[in-house]
Structure 1
Amino acid sequence: METPLLVTDFLDQARTYYAEEEAIVGADGDRFTYGEFGERADRFSAALRDRGVEKGDRVAVLDPNTHYHLEAAYGAMQIGAVHTPLNYRLTPSDYEYILSDAGVDVVVADYEYAEKIETIREDVPTETFITNDADAVDGRWESFDDALEAASPEYDRPEMAEDDVITINYTSGTTGDPKGVCRTHRTETLHAYLVSIYHELTDDDVYLWTLPMFHVNGWGHIYAVTGIGATHVCTRGVSPDSVVETITSEDVSFLCAAPAVLNQLLEYYESEGQPAMAGANDVRVTTAGSAPPEATIRAVEDEFDWYLKHLYGATETGPLITISDAKRLIDEENRLEIKKRQGFGILGSDVRVVDEDGEDVPRDDETLGEVVVRGNQVMDRYWNKPEATEEAFSDRLEGYYHMGDLATVDENGMIAIRDRKKDIIVSGGENISSIELEDALFDHDAVADVAVIPAPSDEWGETPKAFVVPSSGDVANPPVSADELTAYTRAELASYKAVRRIEYVETLPKTATGKTQKYELREQEWADEDRLIGEG
């Protein structure tokens, strides 16, 4: 039997079997059962219908992980409208671009961010503006709760197909204008199934929302956590003290955290005298993207007593395509080395690392190739960008999405990201991995954060340059000199890989999801050159 895969099934499933169980712990302290959550979503569906929203219309949500985001998302999707989450760290001009590009019909904005929309509302096609606190917002904004109270819980749910686009996730925009990643009922549903498997979700899990809901729909957790009948614990931003307090008071069992967040928690743990890092439940944590340093993994698992997983992917892929949680391959001797790898492909995903001719690289953990993937969780297309879509799926290997990351493959088939294609440093004809250098520098006690990019060199074409945030925070008098850091990398790595230029900075430019925006550093470094790569 074949039935359509629809994201509306997740909330339907939860309210059918867990109607009286706690669904959401709101950031404001409000608590909702799945029955109450479902009714609020129903009322929002009806409210949207009353305002002329139809299947296929776009409903944007600008919200810092409150229950309103979950209610607005499901309320929109239940009538076939396209959930379009917005990064709450963007500027008004960014929102003007996205709302216009997607042709957004309705904006639901948290009161803290509504002003950014208010300044550009006359320049976008959006007609309906809703907020969770209309009294706190200037301009003509409707109240979310008033709209729910005035609406009936009854609405007409249209017929939907699994290949209908149901969400558009805009990329973080590390290069140029953000692109709208179109994801269908099918891609979202199958990805949520995979998340449930690899994060080992169960109905008694308590999930803490440290990961932005706007980021790839919270890595699919708005679906997976809901469908399994677990509890959402919402937040308004992330600070180490509030995270630790919530973990212990709400008996959190699972959260996701970028390496930067893990490091903040480690600093808090040490500065606060090693407080309890768990309540009644054991804690699992998943990190993603750049590999956390081995020291971070060791501290999280040995000091916090949490179980850490490391996954890899992109907005275009759901994101989950690989994971390093290979229990049959992990022992105490290799635990840290394996867990910092991006891992191997998950079920139903064809993940390959290929050379410029589209051929698989050998499993020698030395030969670089680009990561490409084919799978049911991969995006349908970029919104209104057919050329970018074609390029993403046809560069080295036709029909595979090209991640833009360079990796090696070990004897077990586990990949390790070594660099972005555009970030590889070619110095005197030798390839140098900026990530390898960053990992080495990060292990130095005097380095709080670091980014390595190619810098122009008359002698070598390019040479590595490190932008270092000193652990003391004092860029004028850092606790270690540039010469000492150069000597340190020369001792840790092959001599030709040593970082030869170091600049101390107070902060590094970051996206909302914690990814370092190296392109800003590169543009700054190559401003006087006629190209952004060296001729080495």
Structure 2
Amino acid sequence: MNDKYNNDKYENGLDRNAANYAALTPLSFLRRSATVFPDKVAVIDDDMTLDYRTFLARCRRLAAALAQSGVGPGDTVAVLAPNGHELLEAHYGVALAGAVLNALNSRLDGASLGFILDHGEARVLIYDTEYEAVIKDALAGLTTPPRTVAIERDGGPASLDGARYEAWLDTAGDPDQWRTPADEWDAITLNYTSGTTGNPKGVVYHHRGAYLAAMSNAMAFEMNADTVYLWTLPMFHCNGWGYTWAITAVGGTHVCLRKVDPDLIYRRMEERGVTHLCGAPVVLNMLLADMDQRGRALSRPARFALGGAAPPSSVIRKARELGFDITHLYGLTETFGPATLCVPQPDWAALPTEQLAARMARQGVINFAVNDARVYDHERRRVAPADGETLGEIQLRGNTLMKGYLKNPETTAEAFRDGWYNTGDLAVMHPDHYIEIKDRAKDVIISGGENISSLEVEEVLYRHPRVSEAAVVAMADDKWGEVPCAFIDPRPGLELDVDDLIGFCRQHLAGFKIPKKVVLGALPKTVTGKIRKNVLRDRLAG
């Protein structure tokens, strides 16, 4: 019996149809939870609390309002807002309109936001008036600015012409409509990342990946209908690592948080019975320091998913004392957030804190929706052995990888060369098949969970008339994990005032990208004239 006959018997007359196939989309999570838990609290915010029935209704009204504004399939809708119910609603309402959500980074300056709005071709911009000044800067340089819709909350009334969010939703009535993508590969969101060049790159997510990322993360974080999730992680960052959809998927409760304040975080955790939260090391460190200073501890344990640098033993010890259970994650914007996690093994519980910290420093093993991860030794053209010593680049394959970079086919092809996503992160594979990052192939500085392109900062430094050469590297920081440090060789015969240089940077860069330290002097170079950043890093470490 030949192979063709065997294959045909499972194909002939057994086709996809409306009964046995539906495109995967996180929109289905909201509809299910609104059916199963209609009266359950879905969202808690400062200005309103929404049950799942009302949450669904508001998302439908948002979709209808967008449609009435001329937004259709494939259009981009940008949102600049804190972690409130409006941004959460946008994660469903925009997709229900068939459009693509571009959640904007609230830490960016006007020029960067203007580039993103133009590059992503935003048709509508929903913004909180708290950010109106930077929005005005962003819109000033646009030939075809998007229609604006203002969220008037803590920032007060809007001064820009345009719709007002709540009134705008009311114009849509109460539509009984539901749109799902025809193809699960359709774009659902657009997220910009700095990468290694000055201009941000637009990372395109698909419905399939968003669905699987949400399911994967909910499983990894052991979430269920009793989950109460506090939004300490920005929803604009990889769409909140997919938890904008994951919490809804399990019928949990979203607790919104408009600003990261340690006292407010603690009080909200205690008042709302928070079970899970995520964030960068800076958030955890701030929270632990504040709780320790005030003599506080959690009345019930909570799980904290930590991205970025691995926690030192002192942080692990303090976190345990105060009631936190830490899970270390690794991922990128291109991987929908978490791609690997450090799964604790049963025997780790008995380890001394220092040994446990060494294990938790690893980036771990693949998440559920990632098919494979490997460390590839490009120099020897082989997969690095699992010896904990051979350095190579982390490569990933799976369902939670981006479609690619918007309007950038060359960079997309390079990212996916050889059938793998090439992360640019250098790591080793341990004998237990846990990955541990050792360095970054790209000179990206991760500060408070945000990526900073060293080349972007260097480009600004080179514009200063008294700068001859510049190099920017990561410097360890207790609060932010890493911050930029600039090494500057001034032009011969000219004095360079460091305060003047920092002021110059402040005019051209977002605040978190400004170098926190400037070192003047000649820069070390290779024989070919390339600046040796490894030497500069060693100087800081020493």
The answer to whether the aligner puts 1:342 opposite 2:360 as a matched pair is: no
2-structure distance, mates of 1:276, 1:17: 35
- Aligned with residue 35 of structure 1, among 53, 73, 79: 53
Displacement of 1:304 after TM fit? 1.3
Aligned to 1:476: none
2-structure distance, mates of 1:216, 1:79: 21
Contact 1:526–1:532 under 8 Å retained in 2: no
Aligned to 2:7: none
2-structure distance, mates of 1:225, 1:413: 30
Contact 1:45–1:155 under 8 Å retained in 2: no
1:425-479 deviations in Å (ceiling 9; x for gaps): xxxxxxxxx99xx9xxxxxxxxxxxxx9xxxxxxxxxx999846689xxxxxxxx
CA gap 1:276/1:304 in 2 versus in 1, 3 angstroms = closer
Opposite residue 190 of structure 2, the aligned amino acid is: I
Contact 1:166–1:183 under 8 Å retained in 2: yes
Contact 2:234–2:240 under 8 Å retained in 1: yes
Aligned to 1:418: 438
CA gap 1:169/1:118 in 2 versus in 1, 3 angstroms = same
Contact 2:129–2:150 under 8 Å retained in 1: yes
% identical equivalent positions? 35
The answer to whether the aligner puts 1:361 opposite 2:381 as a matched pair is: no
Displacement of 1:14 after TM fit? 1.2
Aligned to 1:239: 261
Displacement of 1:157 after TM fit? 4.1
CA gap 1:535/1:171 in 2 versus in 1, 3 angstroms = closer
Displacement of 1:15 after TM fit? 0.6
1:381-530, aligned counterparts within 5 Å?
A: 381-394=404-417, 398-422=418-442, 467=475
Which deviates the most, 254-263 or 128-137?
128-137
2-structure distance, mates of 1:149, 1:523: 56
Aligned to 2:494: none
Contact 1:99–1:124 under 8 Å retained in 2: no
Displacement of 1:288 after TM fit? 1.1
The answer to whether the aligner puts 1:374 opposite 2:392 as a matched pair is: no
CA gap 1:144/1:290 in 2 versus in 1, 3 angstroms = same
Aligned to 1:495: none
Unmatched 5+ stretches in structure 2: 1-19, 448-453, 455-470, 480-497, 536-542
1-structure distance, mates of 2:332, 2:430: 22
The answer to whether the aligner puts 1:130 opposite 2:152 as a matched pair is: no
- Aligned with residue 175 of structure 2, among 142, 154, 161: 154
Contact 2:215–2:249 under 8 Å retained in 1: no
Contact 1:53–1:81 under 8 Å retained in 2: yes
1:315-359 deviations in Å (ceiling 9; x for gaps): 000112111123335232143222221111123420000101442
2-structure distance, mates of 1:374, 1:184: 15
Aligned to 2:161: 140
Unmatched 5+ stretches in structure 1: 425-433, 439-451, 453-462, 472-502
Contact 2:313–2:356 under 8 Å retained in 1: no
1-structure distance, mates of 2:436, 2:161: 50
* Residue aligned with 2:149, SS: strand
2-structure distance, mates of 1:310, 1:263: 14
CA gap 1:524/1:182 in 2 versus in 1, 3 angstroms = farther
Aligned to 1:81: 99
TM-score (norm 1): 0.79
Contact 1:115–1:138 under 8 Å retained in 2: no
Contact 1:55–1:158 under 8 Å retained in 2: no
1:289-304, aligned counterparts within 5 Å?
A: 289-301=308-320, 303-304=321-322
Opposite residue 87 of structure 1, the aligned amino acid is: N
Aligned to 1:63: 81
Aligned to 1:448: none
Opposite residue 412 of structure 1, the aligned amino acid is: D
Contact 2:44–2:255 under 8 Å retained in 1: yes
CA gap 1:391/1:254 in 2 versus in 1, 3 angstroms = same
1-structure distance, mates of 2:475, 2:374: 32
CA gap 1:154/1:409 in 2 versus in 1, 3 angstroms = same
1:128-207, aligned counterparts within 5 Å?
A: 128-133=147-152, 136-154=157-175, 156-158=177-179, 160=181, 161-172=183-194, 175-207=197-229
Contact 1:240–1:264 under 8 Å retained in 2: yes
Contact 2:112–2:138 under 8 Å retained in 1: no
Contact 1:79–1:156 under 8 Å retained in 2: no
2-structure distance, mates of 1:153, 1:208: 29
Displacement of 1:7 after TM fit? 2.1
Displacement of 1:73 after TM fit? 2.4
* Residue aligned with 2:129, SS: coil
CA gap 1:250/1:533 in 2 versus in 1, 3 angstroms = same
- Aligned with residue 252 of structure 1, among 271, 274, 287: 274
Contact 1:104–1:125 under 8 Å retained in 2: no
* Residue aligned with 2:349, SS: coil
Displacement of 1:141 after TM fit? 2.8
* Residue aligned with 1:342, SS: coil
CA gap 1:522/1:378 in 2 versus in 1, 3 angstroms = farther
Contact 2:424–2:441 under 8 Å retained in 1: yes
Contact 2:191–2:202 under 8 Å retained in 1: yes
* Residue aligned with 1:223, SS: helix
Contact 2:111–2:137 under 8 Å retained in 1: no
CA gap 1:76/1:467 in 2 versus in 1, 3 angstroms = closer
Aligned to 2:283: 261
RMSD of aligned alpha carbons: 3.3
Aligned to 1:332: 350
Opposite residue 396 of structure 2, the aligned amino acid is: V
The answer to whether the aligner puts 1:110 opposite 2:128 as a matched pair is: yes
Which deviates the most, 235-244 or 147-156?
147-156
1-structure distance, mates of 2:512, 2:373: 25
1:16-35, aligned counterparts within 5 Å?
A: 16-26=35-45, 28-35=46-53
Which deviates the most, 169-178 or 520-529?
520-529
Aligned to 2:302: 283
Contact 1:298–1:336 under 8 Å retained in 2: no
CA gap 1:534/1:220 in 2 versus in 1, 3 angstroms = closer
Which deviates the most, 351-360 or 209-218?
351-360
* Residue aligned with 2:419, SS: coil
